[in-house]
Structure 1
Amino acid sequence: MENPFIDPIFELLLDAQQPLKVHDISHALKPLQQTELDQDPNRHLFKLNFLIMNALYQLQDELINEYHLQISSLHIELQVKPESDIQLVNTNITNNLKAYYLDWQNYQTSAEEIAQLLAQFWQQFQRQHKQPTSLTKLQALEIFQLNKDATFAEIKQRWRKLALIYHPDRGSHSPEKFKQYLAAWQALKDIHVCIS
């Protein structure tokens, strides 16, 4: 399969005045998306992310003699290699990610597998970005627009819905709003763990 985003992403990298993020690229590619990649919104987002990462890793291989393309979700930057370039050491994580995104079979990942990958991502994200919260249960429920008698299943369902709408990769909302919902979710989850 040929990736239609390789050339547009290459042009974005050339024009970039500062490092890009995956959601910057996703937002810039919106005008090129004539149709949804999948009717399921989660699979659409997964496939879009897959195409972006696949294009970046293909470009990394194509440009390796003249450029270093740094790839992480929060820092994507094309740099001219200096004359005395020392080969950068690839970590196993980087190699595993690259292998994953260059394997076109992964583009057809099932909805169940995507849900599992998302759950793993959010668990890792929350561990890395966990900050003490001073929100009370009532304040967090108010942010989620749920009543004080909401069950944990209802809270979890509301969190997932809000996370899909306000996630920074969606590009249509303020990252601050997402952080507010994330803080509310962390507070409610911590309270649930304490009383379980």
Structure 2
Amino acid sequence: MTDCQPPLTEPVLQLLKNQLASLILSALSDSKDHSLTEQYLMSCLGLKLSTETEISPDLQRFQQHFVLYHLLYRLQTEWLATGEGLLDIGLAKVRFVSAASACPTALNVSKDNSSRREYYTNWQNFYAMSEQLLDEYLTQFWQHYSKGQVDPAQLSAQQAQHLLKLQPGFTLTDLKRAYRSQALLLHPDRSTGNAEKFRQIQQAYQQLLQQLP
């Protein structure tokens, strides 16, 4: 942890962490695959942050995502220390493995997980994210995720625009906004996800991106 002031007071963070713990333990008992999506946790927690300046919906989602994962990694550390079990924190899903059902090595946090934990427990990273940097990160992420799956030749320009709900004369900003909105909605790890449609919007984005001047 650093001395950087968090966006919420410590009592509020503790309250949210306790609510999150109760939510995870109660919800996972009814989950068939013992996992919960980030979208589900976010909607149930009802996390809202206030800012002094106006920011984009994408940056708002990032900040909410950051606080959620900050709380999740706090829980992970606490539950490992107490022997409660392992909170396996993925890209868009969370899975809990009780100490009784987990092998001893499973209760050790992996190096990759440790790196992500360091990121989300450092509030400097929360404030360091700008609109421009977030735009670059999101573009890189979706392009990496769809690598090898995109074949722009399969779609016409009209089909591509229709998939991304774009009107003729759209700008690069319009394209990126529509792309990220649909990608977040259709991501396979989300409850609203659809792997086939997700691949189609990847194709639509790549094709329209190449057509812009």
Report the TM-score when normalising by structure 1: 0.75
Which residue among 87, 90, 93 is the counterpart of 1:75? 93
Aligned to 1:66: 84
Distance change in 2, residues 1:91/1:62 (3 Å):
closer
Distance change in 2, residues 1:66/1:97 (3 Å):
same
Distance change in 2, residues 1:36/1:192 (3 Å):
closer
Q: Does 1:39 align with 2:47?
A: no
Aligned to 2:17: 6
Aligned to 1:26: 42
Query: Structure 2: where are the runs of 5+ without partners?
Result: 1-5
User: What is the aligned-residue RMSD (CA, Å)?
Assistant: 3.4
Q: Is the deviation greater in 42-51 or in 181-190?
A: 181-190
Q: How does 1:7-156 map to 2 (within 5 A)?
A: 7-16=18-27, 17-18=30-31, 19-30=35-46, 32-33=47-48, 35-36=49-50, 39-40=54-55, 41-64=57-80, 65-82=83-100, 85-88=103-106, 90-111=109-130, 112-127=132-147, 130=149, 132=151, 134-143=154-163, 144-147=165-168, 150=169, 154=171, 156=172
1:20 shift after superposition:
0.5
Report the TM-score when normalising by structure 2: 0.69
Number of residue pairs the alignment of both structures matches? 184
Distance in 1 (CA, whole Å) between partners of 2:198 and 2:175 is: 7
Distance in 1 (CA, whole Å) between partners of 2:101 and 2:138 is: 41
**How big is each residue's C-alpha offset from its partner over 1:148-193, in whole Å with a ceiling of 9 and x where there is no partner?**
xx57xx2x43332224544239xxx9545x9747624523524765
- Identical residues among aligned pairs (%): 18
Distance in 2 (CA, whole Å) between partners of 1:66 and 1:188 is: 44
SS for the counterpart of 2:105 is coil
> Is the 1:140–1:185 Cα contact (8 Å) retained in structure 2?
no
> Is the 2:166–2:178 Cα contact (8 Å) retained in structure 1?
no
Amino acid at match of 1:49: H
> Is the 1:162–1:181 Cα contact (8 Å) retained in structure 2?
no
> Is the 2:17–2:75 Cα contact (8 Å) retained in structure 1?
yes
SS for the counterpart of 2:147 is helix
Distance change in 2, residues 1:84/1:6 (3 Å):
closer
Q: Does 1:168 align with 2:185?
A: yes
Amino acid at match of 1:39: E
> Is the 1:56–1:71 Cα contact (8 Å) retained in structure 2?
yes
